[in-house]
Structure 1
Amino acid sequence: MHSPTLSDLLDVLGGSSVRALAAPRGLAVSVGEVLLYDGDAALPEAPGAVLLAVGVRAAVAGPLLAAAAEAGMAAVVVRGAPEGHGPVAAAERAGIALLAVDEDAAWHRVHLLLSSAAGAGAAPTASGDLFALADAIAAAVGGATAIEDPRQRILAYSTVPGQTVDEDRRQGILGLQVPDSPQNAEQYRTLFAAETPLRLPALDGDNLPRLAVAVRAGGETLGSLWVVDEGTLCADAEQALAQGASTAALLLLRARAAQELSRHLGGDLLRRVLDGTADAAGAAHRLGLGAGSDPVRVAAFAPAGPSAAPDVERTALRLLDLVRLQCEARYGRHACVLVDGVVYALLPAAGERGAARHQRLAEDIVERAGHALRVPVRAGLGSLVPGLVRATDSRDDADLVLRCLTAERPVAVVDDVRARVTLLRLVELVGERRELTSDGTWARVLAHDAAHGTEYARTVLAWLEAGCDMAGAAKALAVHPNTCRYRLRQARDQAGLDLDDPDERLVLWLQARLAAAGASGTTSGQRSQSPNRRSQSAS
């Protein structure tokens, strides 16, 4: 069995979640269990352990580093970037590795990730373990065995020669799903309510009875074990099956941890892809996207409720789970990530025809999420880009589309709202330019209206939007055309407008539209951000 090393641990975590600050004995040092530091208890003798320095600041970690080294530990993990060279020097003197995680990292999540990574190099795959366990249980109990999850999906099954199988088992193995029936559902309800193995009758004449037991850990049902009973099971079959359930619980928990680790790493990698800080070719391979040259689209999902709601973080995490579930059902292995309250999903476009299928998927997610979360959800789809190297462009588009959405239009592709997106982009580019904001002609018109109670700005904008047609402007304002003419003359005289100059009209209209786009574009709670920023994220 391969014993994982510090190098293996850092490789599994991708180098972004955990950083090595000092490794005086190199990265080939073997690592074992991951421990949480308890300041009220003495450090145990734990050769090769990785100690999480909970509650100990890096600046004063010297004594802990020395004590951990004396206890035979391989590494100590601190949170945040240590100030100065002191902690690193202390680690080098003690001969123990010093690792660091982000300042905002939660210790329980760090423990989960490091424990999973430390076990990744030493253990066979969870799937292989479950199949081996199914064979071992079948041999011990005396009947063909299947291991299922709570949704009645078959995770593994025995292949011991000579054991009898029936029609339900054959159909279940072919589809890796237990055939559905009212009688079957009743048996599952009975089984999950029981604390010990049960003998269950055959459902019909084509099938045999079963010996079954629920698989639990800490009161949570993780799945079940089922054994075909043709009347020749061993005398201690129930005891053997109960022991098998305990082992299955450990394997299913390990599989869950490995899946959680994989999702976290995939989400962290996707965040770096969207930030433009990841190598596109390497990221494409790890995300299952081939060489990375296939077209992709970024979709952004966000609750439309107030961002200050007390349960906003919980709602965002539930939205992440919903988006991930739907995307994985459609595309298989997939990465989603939560960044600053927005859930991003990378949608492969190979084989897709235009944006229609992506939009239907987003609409389905928005509808399901709205019902499940009981808050409205909106989805913006960015442009289709040629590979991960341009994913940041699609993400920026998706962010802007989110700002364009309304209750009447909760889902849109960037091409469908291109004019509005372009205005929002111009607002960002303009920034605080004086000639287009405070010193602009439009600002003078607004100031005059505010000071004198006039409606010149509204009249000028209606006239420009009507293509400089007086009758059209008057109709839009519900006033007489002479009233409209009078206001425009007054605007010329008192605000200094030259509406006969086409350049003046263009700049005036642009200032007005940018001001309106900037005001309404920030009301949704979404904002476009620069691609290389650091963000709070979950995966």
Structure 2
Amino acid sequence: MLDTGVSDLGQVLDALGPSLLRPLTVMPEGPVPVSGVLIFERRGPLSPVRDTILLAVGVGTAEAQARELVGAAAEAGYACLVVKSFGEPVAELVEAAQRSGIVLLAADEAVAWHHLDAMISSALASTVRFAYATGVPALGDLFAVANAIAAMAGGATVIEDRNRRILAYSTLPGQAIDEGRRQGILGLQVPDGPDYDAQYRAIAQVVRTCRFPAIPGGLPRLGVAVRAGSEVLGSIWVVDAGDSLDSAAEQALSDVADIVSLHLLAARTAVDAVRRRRADLLRRLLADPSSVTAVAPQLGLDPNLPVAVAAFAVAADEAEEALAAHAATRLADLVSLHCEAHYGRHGCALIDGTVYALLPSGPSPTAHRELVADIARRAHGALRVPVQAGIGSLVEGLRSVAGSRADADLVLRALADRPGGPRACQVATIEEVWAGATLSALAQILAAHEALPRALGPAVRAHDLEHGTTYASTILAYLDANSDIAAASQRLSVHPNTIRYRLARAEEIFGFDLANPDERLVLWLRLRLGDQLGW
């Protein structure tokens, strides 16, 4: 257990995010104490400072000096060494670090060393503050920053996170704001709208201040993205009521973005730590409902409260797996943000690519669906990927939450199995897709019972593949048409006699009887669910 005045390297890395610093060596299982950060001087001796992050400025990863520095830093007691590779090989350096027992980190090459130094220092300070308190550090200083920017630039200012949630706003008298910003401040959330979407896309693509003309009902404004390396943490907006802010105001806004990034990192450290803890509690509850006695009080929930589980997923094909994994993380942030706004901080968890959220019983039977549909729509608009959401049945208490989760998972599978590929945004309850959900459940049962005879499905498909026949599609078309030969022939564009011949021949080859209703049902299920079962 670390002393509360010392940070853990893992906490610091969580605060800064993987886009800024990523481990090249395997992280130790236990905590790694860190108390400061130091920049390496190439021409001077290495100062022996224990529990410190060492920035290897100007040291190439392929140089012999880098390997020597690894050994010297480990011997001097440094917590870790940070390098920039710039495309150079790192394998030998990683091996040297592993032999020496020191953590090796790679920094985003686009981030200046002095900026990285400042952000690590801020993360160290914020993790220490969090160790002394269970809540989130106050953002009063961020409001002071907003006022300072407003005075410096000459216009009303708001500071937002990457989800367009307003974290702070200026309060200087005499500075005008438009209706959009007024509504945003009242709800602490920027209103939706295509004009706003275009502005956020524009500032995310450049590293300078952008100037935007007035939108209908609004005023001109300046905007700049707040970054930690290549990651966008949020944004700063200044209203240009008189359309008179000059290039000095633009430069001032760009300059202050680095300062604001430190505040956002410090705030995010504590917020993310609390949110991760709630996510861990929800994972435990979903995996083991018997833990409700211990978990419910920590989530602030009554164990007997009726709840439903909502499941959200990004729909993507195999070629987009990396994109889907990144989008799923951002989806978890969005779902958590909106659920907290409606129900409080009960927990939201990302488990194996699916985002789960607890929904306490609402004021009306449709309240859950309306909220989930709104979240899915907003997530699709923000992430630009197809989003699917399933709502499980309402259960009487947290001890039955596993049943609602199972329902939500079935809904997601039913939506994914719909023909035509994933649509932009699909939302359903278990009642709305009961037929498809039932088939998904049956597919799971069939897949889990290998002892059941498999000839009725896979054998037909395998025969078609080997001999170039079409028995599977013919049988399925016939059964889908309720055993109507004429309808099946129209569906397949072949003569009715061809259908009759194929069916008779299939009965001879595979030994089933289409006159037997039980065999007909099982045969249809196995052919219908063949894709889901991998047959």
User: What are the superposed Cα offsets for residues 345-383 of structure 1, whole Å, 9 maximum, x if unpaired?
Assistant: 4142322433x3333333333333333333322223333
CA contact (8 A) 1:298 1:382 kept: yes
Pairing partner for 1:279 from 288, 291, 295? 291
Q: How far apart, CA to CA, are the structure 1 residues paired with 2:168 and 2:514?
A: 74
User: What are the superposed Cα offsets for residues 181-227 of structure 1, whole Å, 9 maximum, x if unpaired?
Assistant: 99x986975999xxxxxxx9999xxxxxxxx9x9989742777xxxx
Pairing partner for 2:328 from 316, 323, 329? 316
Q: How far apart, CA to CA, are the structure 2 residues paired with 1:399 and 1:50?
A: 46
Shift of 1:302: 0.9
- Report the residue type matching 1:504 in the other structure: E
Answer yes or no: is 1:362 the counterpart of 2:377.
no
CA contact (8 A) 2:137 2:270 kept: no
Q: How far apart, CA to CA, are the structure 1 residues paired with 2:266 and 2:474?
A: 68
- Report the residue type matching 1:267 in the other structure: A
SS in 2 for 1:324: helix
CA contact (8 A) 2:336 2:357 kept: no
- Report the residue type matching 1:4 in the other structure: T
Flag the 1:361–1:513 CA change in 2: closer, same or farther, 3 A: same
Flag the 1:292–1:156 CA change in 2: closer, same or farther, 3 A: farther
Flag the 1:328–1:488 CA change in 2: closer, same or farther, 3 A: same
Identity among equivalent positions (%) equals: 34
- Report the residue type matching 2:364 in the other structure: R
Answer yes or no: is 1:344 the counterpart of 2:381.
no
Flag the 1:452–1:167 CA change in 2: closer, same or farther, 3 A: closer
Answer yes or no: is 1:4 the counterpart of 2:15.
no
- Report the residue type matching 2:443 in the other structure: V
User: What are the superposed Cα offsets for residues 399-451 of structure 1, whole Å, 9 maximum, x if unpaired?
Assistant: 443333243572222332233233333333333755546x4233444444445
In the TM superposition, what are the counterparts of 1:124-523 in structure 2 within 5 Å? 130=140, 149-150=159-160, 189=222, 219-220=256-257, 254-276=266-288, 279-291=291-303, 293-308=305-320, 311-333=323-345, 335-340=347-352, 342-354=353-365, 356-405=366-415, 406-408=421-423, 410-431=426-447, 433=449, 436=452, 439-450=454-465, 452-479=467-494, 481-519=496-534
Flag the 1:402–1:38 CA change in 2: closer, same or farther, 3 A: farther
Q: How far apart, CA to CA, are the structure 2 residues paired with 1:250 and 1:447?
A: 61
User: Which consecutive unaligned segments of at least 5 residues does structure 2 have?
Assistant: 12-26, 62-69, 81-100, 109-115, 192-213, 226-238, 243-248, 416-420
RMSD over aligned Cα atoms:
6.1
CA contact (8 A) 1:126 1:255 kept: yes
- Report the residue type matching 2:367 in the other structure: R
Q: How far apart, CA to CA, are the structure 2 residues paired with 1:8 and 1:480?
A: 74
CA contact (8 A) 1:440 1:511 kept: no
CA contact (8 A) 1:113 1:261 kept: no
User: What are the superposed Cα offsets for residues 3-54 of structure 1, whole Å, 9 maximum, x if unpaired?
Assistant: 837999999xxxxxx998699xxxxxxx8836699899857556xx6889x9
Q: How far apart, CA to CA, are the structure 1 residues paired with 2:124 and 2:291?
A: 24
How many residues matched?
418
Shift of 1:262: 1.9
Flag the 1:328–1:309 CA change in 2: closer, same or farther, 3 A: same
CA contact (8 A) 2:314 2:385 kept: no
Q: How far apart, CA to CA, are the structure 1 residues paired with 2:394 and 2:442?
A: 21
Q: How far apart, CA to CA, are the structure 1 residues paired with 2:530 and 2:392?
A: 24
Answer yes or no: is 1:33 the counterpart of 2:48.
no
Q: How far apart, CA to CA, are the structure 1 residues paired with 2:107 and 2:409?
A: 27
Flag the 1:509–1:5 CA change in 2: closer, same or farther, 3 A: same
Pairing partner for 1:119 from 111, 123, 129? 129
Q: How far apart, CA to CA, are the structure 2 residues paired with 1:461 and 1:201?
A: 66
Q: How far apart, CA to CA, are the structure 2 residues paired with 1:421 and 1:513?
A: 14
Q: How far apart, CA to CA, are the structure 2 residues paired with 1:323 and 1:400?
A: 20
Q: How far apart, CA to CA, are the structure 2 residues paired with 1:279 and 1:110?
A: 37
CA contact (8 A) 1:215 1:222 kept: no
Shift of 1:344: 0.7
TM norm structure 1:
0.55
Shift of 1:497: 2.3
CA contact (8 A) 1:35 1:50 kept: yes
User: What are the superposed Cα offsets for residues 227-286 of structure 1, whole Å, 9 maximum, x if unpaired?
Assistant: xxxxxxxxxxxxxxxxxxxxxx97665333222322233333334444449933443333
SS in 1 for 2:361: coil
CA contact (8 A) 1:297 1:394 kept: yes
Q: How far apart, CA to CA, are the structure 1 residues paired with 2:309 and 2:318?
A: 27
Flag the 1:486–1:394 CA change in 2: closer, same or farther, 3 A: same
- Report the residue type matching 1:401 in the other structure: V
CA contact (8 A) 2:311 2:357 kept: yes
SS in 2 for 1:410: strand
CA contact (8 A) 1:131 1:156 kept: no
SS in 2 for 1:412: strand
Shift of 1:300: 1.7
- Report the residue type matching 1:264 in the other structure: R
Q: How far apart, CA to CA, are the structure 2 residues paired with 1:516 and 1:306?
A: 16
- Report the residue type matching 1:425 in the other structure: A
Shift of 1:294: 3.4
- Report the residue type matching 1:220 in the other structure: A
Q: How far apart, CA to CA, are the structure 1 residues paired with 2:29 and 2:367?
A: 44
Q: How far apart, CA to CA, are the structure 1 residues paired with 2:516 and 2:442?
A: 23
Shift of 1:317: 3.5
User: What are the superposed Cα offsets for residues 134-164 of structure 1, whole Å, 9 maximum, x if unpaired?
Assistant: 7xx99xx9xxxx9964589685999xxxxx9
CA contact (8 A) 2:7 2:128 kept: no
SS in 2 for 1:383: coil
Flag the 1:476–1:133 CA change in 2: closer, same or farther, 3 A: closer
User: What are the superposed Cα offsets for residues 49-82 of structure 1, whole Å, 9 maximum, x if unpaired?
Assistant: 6889x99xxxxx99999965xx9xxx99xxxxxx
- Report the residue type matching 1:348 in the other structure: L
CA contact (8 A) 1:380 1:401 kept: yes
Flag the 1:459–1:379 CA change in 2: closer, same or farther, 3 A: same
CA contact (8 A) 2:222 2:240 kept: no
In the TM superposition, what are the counterparts of 1:516-535 in structure 2 within 5 Å? 516-519=531-534
- Report the residue type matching 2:267 in the other structure: A
